[in-house]
Amino acid sequence: MSSRKFKDSMPLAPLKIVALGNQQELGEKINKEIIARRHKALSEMQKPDFKMTGYDTQNYLVSYDCPRFGTGEAKCVINESMRGVDLFIIVDTVNYGQQYTMRNKTTNMSPDDFLMDLKRVIMACSGHPRRITVIMPYLYEGRQHIRYINESLDCAQALQELVSMGVETIITFDAHDNRVQNAIPNHGFDNFFTSFQFIDTVVKTNPDIKIDPEHIMVISPDLGGMKRAVYYAGALGVEMGLFYKRMDYSKLVDGEHPVVSTQFLGNNVSGKDILLIDDMIATGHTILDVARELKERGANRIFICVTFGLFSNGTAELDAAYDENIFDSIYTTNLSYCPDEVKNKPYYHSVDLSKYISAIIDTLNHDTSVNDLIDATQRIQDIVQKHNNK
């Protein structure tokens, strides 16, 4: 944050951050980043234009506990005052590594459990914070956002519950479909994109990559990710392609609509490196089918870039595909849980978003616009130009 931010606006209220148990590692990184940012900014100023208690501190993380009874019931206890603070709560709704004990048996926490813990934290604040912002990188039930037949609208319902409890703004990343914000039209809903961090990491881990229309192409595995792929292609100045999947919406197989047919829409991919872009990788079936099709069409290296690595069926199928040279690398962010088993895979790369989130929190705490953080086009083009000049 530059000194201009200090002169233009003072913080709305003292900053506090709750990193739910499933986001402690990311929360600690964000905490360190904000501390460093503020120390640096204050050192560059002769005299700050304002004075606020707790602005320049060594810790913004809130101390709290969520104990459980033997029946599985739980509560939240916050160990410090929340009165008048600008509170940011970070939660990972798909952390399958978090567990608790119920009736002497270990039980994995589900997205429903994480949503309930989030609401417990809000309730424990007793309405005292000046403002509450929820950072939910993977939007709870984000895939259940449209009603095709008589079915629930879980994501919309959850958003309405949160704002009814006093949450002013919901922040998410690469939303599966951000039109779900229509459920809360009078409240804030910010959908941030991770494109800059992905490009930066791909370039750093593949210094020999050539980013131009002759050597690289952006591919979307389905129609839902087309806008995301169009943005990547436009920012990089390369072509894009799309796999169109015709689905049978009258049936559900393992919670998903079966694919009837697939068709590739795009130019020749032969000899080109491929950026395969999507918002999540769950079972991996779709992304691997697309990668196989691209290899059959003569594609060179395939870099799979997905925001959320859910790996709901494990990694056995991915391991086999990697051994068959179907793809070269998988990039996922640290916005959602990733076990050490996956982190140690030879094809896996983590994209760190802690600096990005710290910049978002710091900017919002000063009650200033985040538009320059949302639009990363110029920063991506600067990376490409610098890389190509080398």
Q: What is the pLDDT of residue 3?
A: 44
Task: Report the candidate in 347, 380, 371 with the shortest Cα–Cα distance to residue 198.
Answer: 380
Q: What is the pLDDT of residue 368?
A: 87
pLDDT interval class at 155 (50, 70, 90): very high
Show the beta-strand stretches assigned E in 212-296. Answer: 216-220, 239-247, 259-265, 273-281
CA 289 to CA 313: how far, in whole Å?
A: 15
In this predicted structure, the answer to whether residue 146 has a pLDDT above a threshold of 90 is no
CA 198 to CA 267: how far, in whole Å?
A: 24
Residue 215 — φ and ψ, nearest 5°?
-120, -10
Give the SS3 label for residue 250.
coil
Comparison of pLDDT for 78 and 145, the residue scoring more: 78
In this predicted structure, the answer to whether residue 329 has a pLDDT above a threshold of 90 is yes
Q: What is the pLDDT of residues 88-108, one digit of tens each?
A: 999 999 998 888 889 889 988
CA 290 to CA 100: how far, in whole Å?
A: 38
Residue 147 — φ and ψ, nearest 5°?
-100, 115
Q: For 284-312, what is the mean pLDDT? A: 91
DSSP state of 184: S
In this predicted structure, the answer to whether residue 138 has a pLDDT above a threshold of 70 is yes
CA 47 to CA 372: how far, in whole Å?
A: 27
Q: Are 313 and 163 in contact (CB under 8 A)?
A: no
Q: For 207-224, what is the mean pLDDT? A: 90
Task: Report the candidate in 67, 73, 57 with the shortest Cα–Cα distance to residue 17.
Answer: 57
Answer whether 0.75 is exceeded by the pTM: yes
Comparison of pLDDT for 43 and 2, the residue scoring more: 43
Q: For 293-318, what is the mean pLDDT? A: 91
What is the identity of the amino acid at 182? N
Q: Are 22 and 336 in contact (CB under 8 A)?
A: no
Comparison of pLDDT for 294 and 251, the residue scoring more: 294
Q: Which residues contact 271 (CB under 8 A, 6 or more apart)?
A: 298, 299, 300
Quote the Cα angle for 253-254-260, to 5°.
35
